[in-house]
Amino acid sequence: MSTILVTGGAGFIGSHLCDALVKQGNYVICVDNLFTGSKENITHLLNNPLFEFVEHDIINPFFADKKIDQIYNLACPASPIHYQFNAIRTIKANTLGVINMLGLAKKHKARILQASTSEVYGDPLVHPQVETYFGNVNSFGPRSCYDEGKRVAESLFFEYNKEHNVDIRIARIFNTYGPKMSKNDGRVVSNFIVQALENKEVTVYGAGSQTRSFCFVSDLVAGLVALMNSDVSVPVNLGNPEEYTVLDFAKKIIALSGASSKIVFNTLPKDDPCKRKPDISRAQQMLAWNPAVSVDEGLKQTIAYFKTITNSKS
Ligand code: NAD
Ligand code: UDP
């Protein structure tokens, strides 16, 4: 049994990861400041003797009273509206917070995995994106707190590995969706499903010609665990290469929801990447990992989840 710290463990991906790690028989310490996460996501784990929740902001140092074997560092808001809400806090989570977690890993001789992102590629000029592409990121725009924050986090990981021999893993996560996404998260999957289920207008930003590639959360969690338990210390893309224009994706969700929603076209946010699709050859070769859930199947499960949640869930 390993003792595993999951920061951001009450969030969307983090709560699924906690479930998987507890199920494997590990002792899981979930650290979260509940900014975008929610105790509802982990209620079912709170009485489990293999699970512990600590409300804590990783911007402040964290001291563990148990020997930590592995750290998954997911603590950072992921939706543009949330990471832009307090951009300086987002930068702090990705700098001070990451330094705190790397310091903890160094002290405990723990292996640490960073939840990096496809956003390190910015508005990519290489398509699909390979890990060797350095990206096209605006350091001075509304997304930079997140994009540059995640880039400096990768640099910190690299330097802690080089200077202090910390055992690092870096997952570059592409758009991930599934049950437990928060209803008011503001990201495309939850927005479109909630709008469709209420037969409201579905809000496509711009002309909807920008593309994204969508990975179901169980696949992503399997990829994170495989990466953590591999000997791969270079960045690895994790995502599902099934690529859609946002307009086609809106039509698909309306159809799968059986909705009568109309599509409306709103202003495209500044610096919204034009296209995004992972090249997952590295994950396939080094981790023998492949996404198994098709977008149609994953959306059906996600729509079913959103049908069950009450209006009180945010
Ligand atoms: P989320 O917003 O649901 O989860 C983030 C969690 O971190 C929340 O529970 C939040 O309360 C917590 N948190 C935020 N700042 C914190 C801090 N300073 N200290 C402690 N806890 C803090 O988002 P998610 O989709 O689950 O994303 C999880 C991680 O994966 C993030 O690091 C995100 O950048 C990364 N990621 C996600 C996606 C995606 O499509 N979901 C894509 C790329 C990368
Ligand atoms: N988007 C949209 N309507 C929405 C929410 C998002 O058209 O209601 C678009 C957004 O402009 C972007 C894509 O969907 O092009 C994915 O947005 P999201 O916020 O989910 O994540 P991103 O990949 O941009 O970080």
We report the CATH number of the domain holding residue 54 as: 3.40.50.720
Long-range Cβ pairs for the range 158-166 (8 Å, 24+): 160/102, 160/105, 160/106, 161/233, 164/102, 164/106, 166/102, 166/105, 166/106, 166/112
Atom of ligand 2 nearest to the CA of 205: 7
Q: Does residue 62 form part of some domain? A: yes
Residues with catalytic annotation?
A: 146
Q: What pTM did the predictor assign?
A: 0.98
pLDDT band at 56 (very low <50, low <70, confident <90, very high): very high
67, pLDDT greater than 80: yes
Identify how many contiguous H helices and E strands the chain contains and give both numbers: 10, 13
Task: Identify the residue whose C-alpha is closest to ligand 1 atom 44.
Answer: 117
158, pLDDT greater than 50: yes
| Residue ranges making up the domain that contains 233 | 3-176+216-240+277-292
**pLDDT of the residue at 11:** 98
**pLDDT of the residue at 309:** 87
Q: Compute, in angstroms, the gap from residue 102 CA to the centroid of ligand 1.
A: 17
220, pLDDT greater than 70: yes
251, pLDDT greater than 90: yes
**pLDDT of the residue at 129:** 99
Distances (CA, A) of 204 to 57, 142, 192, 240, 271: 34, 19, 9, 22, 16
**pLDDT of the residue at 169:** 99
Q: Does residue 102 form part of some domain? A: yes
Q: Does residue 259 form part of some domain? A: no
Task: Identify the residue whose C-alpha is closest to ligand 1 atom 13.
Answer: 75
299, pLDDT greater than 90: yes
Question: Which ligand is closest in space to the CA of residue 250?
Answer: 2
Q: Say how many domains are in the chain.
A: 1
Tell me how far apart the alpha carbons of residues 272 and 173 are, in angstroms, rounded to a whole number: 17
Q: Does residue 142 form part of some domain? A: yes
313, pLDDT greater than 50: no
Q: Mean pLDDT, to the nearest integer, of 287-314?
A: 88
Q: Does residue 184 form part of some domain? A: no
**What's the one-letter identity of residue 232?**
V
Q: Does residue 304 form part of some domain? A: no
Q: Does residue 263 form part of some domain? A: no
Q: Which residue has the higher pLDDT, 167 or 311?
A: 167
Q: Does residue 182 form part of some domain? A: no
